[in-house]
Chains A and B, each alone.
Chain A
């Protein structure tokens, strides 16, 4: 009892965790306070356990132990050609692999068909009834689906001893469990070998098909590269200039040509002055003939044809000198022709005037040829500059085409190797050395059911009820924010607790009767519901349980 006194200041929450040892008396007191509330989960769990134990059918488990990927020893060189090497790894990966092989529709369908589940009259009746409500599926297909669904839940894959893998089959009949495990082992072996062969053969076919495709691709790449190289070569020949030195030479040559043109023009001016002095202002006769035109054109061809030879310095080798000789000879022939035409001109020209007129006509023809040469030089220079500017693109294109050819050849080589190794792998897989799923332990007839017995069921239920009770007490004591102790009350109110009044035995607890006794009502309700369930199950809606025959128990 606390003594009255001055008001206390609000203190820290009294439920702060402390390192005090557990007070067992206090613990039992707290548990006792909950009373029937703690009895309720126990009764409920035991009722559920009783109902479960009553209706539970004993389940038998047959186990098949296998080992995976025990390859024969092969040399390191041979190992790449041995299929199935990827299976090796962590046990979990192996289990996942086998589980994936077993728990798939096609495998379970094959197993169901092998054991005749697709013709099971019970399944067929269920399937027939189900397919009446839906379209697009036959009773046989539906029965297979039902069988696959049943098998799916019966089979489990787990880690066995060491690196072995255990395949467990659970069934209500021990014989069926054993037989099903055996069939699964056989089917697994066959499926594994078949899958390996299919993979290897598919690999060979794939590599052959790809080789054909890649051969065509190599041919196309080589054609493209060859075409490009030829066009480039052709372009180099026609362009004339092939280096920076030749460009400089061409430019020098162009400047000298322009100087020659300028000199020739000034000489033509002085010759015209001379003509006007000699002729007394008469018009110069037209010195034209077919021969002169032909010689003029020939002179132009020689001048333009000698351009590249002059640039590349071929004149030093004799070819240039030959061209120069032809030009000189053509000019002389032109002069002779113009002189003849001047003598034959009307009006009777003096010898000096004839000579001047022939000289002017020759200069004009030479001027035209020099201008043609100059144009040719300008064109050559322009082409070279343009070619230099487009050169990087050509290099990149060339590199790309070469890379295409290289990669296509490399892929073709790889595919040819693959074709060759697929043959080796197929031979290996079909040999006794190939990867095998080996059965280490064949399934035996299970003698004892693997499911929980009645006692174990009750024990589990009781343990579960205790856990629920612990959760209830924890929630009630720790999570509910209510006043629990004198110290907490003083802290929350900031006042002294001047008295503690215990319960009056002769007075009811606060709240209504139902509120104070709800756990008892709940217990009675649980018991009633359980009893009703048993009564209905046993007498009102009895159903034969074919999975619970006496001989199975024996």
Chain B
């Protein structure tokens, strides 16, 4: 039973990153799947765009996680772009300032290098949404975005673009023309079927670029065997064997049994 009004511990993705966490495992598996889908022996340079049918389906978290895992686990030079000009979240996921960023680049008020910011991960750079308050519909220019992607492609191994949802706005379908692969995120138990059908109608021109669907189970909408509790497989560390007749060696918290771990018998 959940606790009434339990305090939610909110950490950014870099602070709370645990290599064995279920979501990291799944994102690694996802990246390896994409890698295998390319049919090559190693990850090639790619520009990925992550979008969804509607908002609040976890695409920003998924996109940021993919970038973090790529930089930290696969040790590739990675750029994360917050392409949602209306409801940006990447800066909050990584606890960065909102600007300067993409808007300034698109408006040509700031060079790409200056708008690109480093993170705690040496191999991960981020372009946030930016500070400009001009209308989002007017802020996006296709040429500037194409230049940004071309520049990123030249300077980074992997680029992840966190785009807005495809049904309400037009920018994602414009951005899709410049990326290599598209991932569509859906939230199990939340994404309406009608929104899915509409999004697929909109994405029809770029369907060949779509690498697949990422099902976000943040609401635990999938059956029980997708529960992250099934991922508990921590490393069992060897215990120090202490003789019963050697009390001096006994310390608080140290194991009292000389039994070997089950896995080591």
CB of B57 within 8 A of CB of A3, answer no
Tell me whether A502 and B33 are in contact in the complex, defined as CB-CB below 8 angstroms, given that A486-B222, A496-B213 are known contacts. Answer: no
Chain B, residues 161-197, CB within 8 Å of chain A (1/0): the string is 0000000000000000000000110111111111011
The CA-CA distance from A28 to B189 in the complex, in Å, is 16
Q: Does A392 sit at the interface, judged by CB under 8 A?
A: no
The CA-CA distance from A39 to B212 in the complex, in Å, is 38
CB of A499 within 8 A of CB of B228, answer no
State how many angstroms separate the Cβ of B92 from the closest Cβ of chain A: 10
CB of B212 within 8 A of CB of A492, answer no
CB of B11 within 8 A of CB of A506, answer yes
CB of A1 within 8 A of CB of B200, answer no
CB of A501 within 8 A of CB of B193, answer no
The CA-CA distance from A485 to B62 in the complex, in Å, is 18
Tell me whether A498 and B214 are in contact in the complex, defined as CB-CB below 8 angstroms, given that A482-B191, A507-B61 are known contacts. Answer: yes
State how many angstroms separate the Cβ of A339 from the closest Cβ of chain B: 136
Tell me whether A33 and B196 are in contact in the complex, defined as CB-CB below 8 angstroms, given that A498-B214, A499-B215, A502-B226 are known contacts. Answer: no
Q: Does B20 sit at the interface, judged by CB under 8 A?
A: no
Neighbour of B213 across the interface among A29, A489, A502, A524, CB < 8 A: A489
B23 contact set on A, CB distance < 8 A: 501-504
A77 contact set on B, CB distance < 8 A: none
Chain A, residues 399-430, CB within 8 Å of chain B (1/0): the string is 00000000000000000000000000000000
Neighbour of B210 across the interface among A486, A495, A510, A511, CB < 8 A: A495
CB of A502 within 8 A of CB of B228, answer yes
The CA-CA distance from A481 to B2 in the complex, in Å, is 27
Q: Does A89 sit at the interface, judged by CB under 8 A?
A: no
Tell me whether A499 and B196 are in contact in the complex, defined as CB-CB below 8 angstroms, given that A486-B222, A504-B61 are known contacts. Answer: no
The CA-CA distance from A519 to B221 in the complex, in Å, is 18
Q: Does A228 sit at the interface, judged by CB under 8 A?
A: no
The CA-CA distance from A484 to B191 in the complex, in Å, is 9
Residues of chain B at interface, number, CB under 8 A: 63
Q: Does B74 sit at the interface, judged by CB under 8 A?
A: no
Q: Does A536 sit at the interface, judged by CB under 8 A?
A: no
Q: Does A540 sit at the interface, judged by CB under 8 A?
A: no
Q: Does A508 sit at the interface, judged by CB under 8 A?
A: yes
Q: Does A497 sit at the interface, judged by CB under 8 A?
A: yes
CB of A502 within 8 A of CB of B231, answer yes
CB of B217 within 8 A of CB of A502, answer yes
B228 contact set on A, CB distance < 8 A: 502-503
Tell me whether A4 and B37 are in contact in the complex, defined as CB-CB below 8 angstroms, given that A495-B212, A499-B26 are known contacts. Answer: yes
CB of B223 within 8 A of CB of A501, answer no
The CA-CA distance from A467 to B253 in the complex, in Å, is 50
The CA-CA distance from A506 to B186 in the complex, in Å, is 20
The CA-CA distance from A387 to B92 in the complex, in Å, is 120
Q: Does A312 sit at the interface, judged by CB under 8 A?
A: no
A33 contact set on B, CB distance < 8 A: 189, 219-221
Chain A, residues 378-395, CB within 8 Å of chain B (1/0): the string is 000000000000000000
B100 contact set on A, CB distance < 8 A: none
Q: Does B142 sit at the interface, judged by CB under 8 A?
A: no
B62 (CB) vs chain A CBs: closest residue: A501
The CA-CA distance from A497 to B210 in the complex, in Å, is 11
B18 (CB) vs chain A CBs: closest residue: A506
Neighbour of A498 across the interface among B4, B8, B190, B211, CB < 8 A: B211
Chain A, residues 345-366, CB within 8 Å of chain B (1/0): the string is 0000000000000000000000
CB of B30 within 8 A of CB of A499, answer yes
State how many angstroms separate the Cβ of A211 from the closest Cβ of chain B: 82
Chain A residues 465 to 504 lying within 8 A of chain B, measured CB to CB, are 481-486, 489-490, 492-504
The CA-CA distance from A505 to B210 in the complex, in Å, is 29
State how many angstroms separate the Cβ of A113 from the closest Cβ of chain B: 59
State how many angstroms separate the Cβ of A42 from the closest Cβ of chain B: 12
CB of A4 within 8 A of CB of B212, answer yes
CB of B190 within 8 A of CB of A482, answer yes
CB of A492 within 8 A of CB of B65, answer no
Q: Does A538 sit at the interface, judged by CB under 8 A?
A: no
A509 (CB) vs chain B CBs: closest residue: B218
State how many angstroms separate the Cβ of A18 from the closest Cβ of chain B: 14
CB of A4 within 8 A of CB of B34, answer yes
Chain A residues 12 to 36 lying within 8 A of chain B, measured CB to CB, are 25-26, 28-29, 33, 35-36
State how many angstroms separate the Cβ of B91 from the closest Cβ of chain A: 15
The CA-CA distance from A202 to B197 in the complex, in Å, is 79
Chain B residues 92 to 136 lying within 8 A of chain A, measured CB to CB, are 93
Q: Does A291 sit at the interface, judged by CB under 8 A?
A: no
Q: Does A517 sit at the interface, judged by CB under 8 A?
A: yes
A28 (CB) vs chain B CBs: closest residue: B224
State how many angstroms separate the Cβ of A237 from the closest Cβ of chain B: 102
Q: Does B78 sit at the interface, judged by CB under 8 A?
A: no
Q: Does A191 sit at the interface, judged by CB under 8 A?
A: no
CB of B193 within 8 A of CB of A482, answer yes
CB of B196 within 8 A of CB of A485, answer no
Q: Does B36 sit at the interface, judged by CB under 8 A?
A: yes
A492 contact set on B, CB distance < 8 A: 193, 196-197, 200
CB of B65 within 8 A of CB of A495, answer no
Neighbour of B4 across the interface among A25, A500, A520, CB < 8 A: A520
The CA-CA distance from A418 to B49 in the complex, in Å, is 101
The CA-CA distance from A306 to B39 in the complex, in Å, is 143
State how many angstroms separate the Cβ of B215 from the closest Cβ of chain A: 5
State how many angstroms separate the Cβ of B41 from the closest Cβ of chain A: 16
B21 contact set on A, CB distance < 8 A: 504-505
Chain B, residues 56-73, CB within 8 Å of chain A (1/0): the string is 111001100100000000
The CA-CA distance from A528 to B231 in the complex, in Å, is 41
A505 contact set on B, CB distance < 8 A: 9, 21
Q: Does B16 sit at the interface, judged by CB under 8 A?
A: yes
B246 contact set on A, CB distance < 8 A: none
B25 (CB) vs chain A CBs: closest residue: A502
CB of B217 within 8 A of CB of A25, answer no
The CA-CA distance from A523 to B9 in the complex, in Å, is 23
CB of B27 within 8 A of CB of A501, answer yes
A499 contact set on B, CB distance < 8 A: 26-27, 29-30, 33, 212, 214-215
CB of B187 within 8 A of CB of A510, answer yes
B196 contact set on A, CB distance < 8 A: 483, 489, 492-493
A7 contact set on B, CB distance < 8 A: 207, 210
Shortest 4 CB-CB contacts between residues of A and residues of B: A499-B30, A498-B212, A29-B224, A506-B16
A483-B196, A510-B57, A510-B218 known; 18 new pairs, CB 8 Å cut-off, are A7-B210, A29-B224, A481-B194, A492-B200, A498-B183, A498-B212, A499-B214, A500-B216, A501-B65, A502-B217, A503-B217, A503-B219, A504-B13, A504-B23, A506-B16, A509-B218, A509-B219, A520-B4
Which residues of B are at the interface with A, using a C-beta cutoff of 8 A?
1-2, 4-5, 8-11, 13, 15-16, 21-23, 26-27, 29-30, 33-34, 36-37, 56-58, 61-62, 65, 93, 183-184, 186-194, 196-197, 200, 207, 210-224, 226-228, 231
Jot down 12 A-B pairs with beta carbons below 8 A, ordered by A: A36-B2, A481-B192, A482-B221, A484-B221, A489-B215, A495-B213, A496-B212, A499-B212, A501-B215, A501-B217, A504-B16, A510-B190
Which residues of A are at the interface with B, using a C-beta cutoff of 8 A?
1, 3-5, 7, 25-26, 28-29, 33, 35-36, 39, 481-486, 489-490, 492-511, 517, 520, 523-524
